[in-house]
Amino acid sequence: MLTIGMLGGMSWESSAEYYRLANVLVRERLGGLHSAKVVLHSVDFAGIERMQVEGRWDDAGKALAQAAAQVRAGGADLLLICTNTMHKVYDQVSAAVDIPVVHLGDTTADAIKAAGLTTVGLLGTGFTMDQPFYRERLESHGLKVLLPSPEDRATVHRIIYDELCVGIIREESRRAYQDVIARFEGAEGVILGCTEIELLISQADVPLPVFPTTRLHVEAAVERAVQTVL
From 194, 195, 213, 214, the catalytic residue: 194
From 83, 108, 125, 214, the catalytic residue: 83
Dist. CA 213–CA 230, nearest whole Å: 25
**Whether 36 contacts 26, CB under 8 Å:** yes
Task: Give the relative orientation of helices 104-114 and 132-139 as an angle to the nearest 10 degrees.
Answer: 40
Q: How many residues does the chain have?
A: 230
Task: Confirm whether 83 is a catalytic residue.
Answer: yes
Task: Confirm whether 194 is a catalytic residue.
Answer: yes
Dist. CA 72–CA 74, nearest whole Å: 5
User: Which DSSP letter does residue 3 get?
Assistant: P
Dist. CA 170–CA 86, nearest whole Å: 25
Q: Which residues are the active-site residues?
A: 83, 194
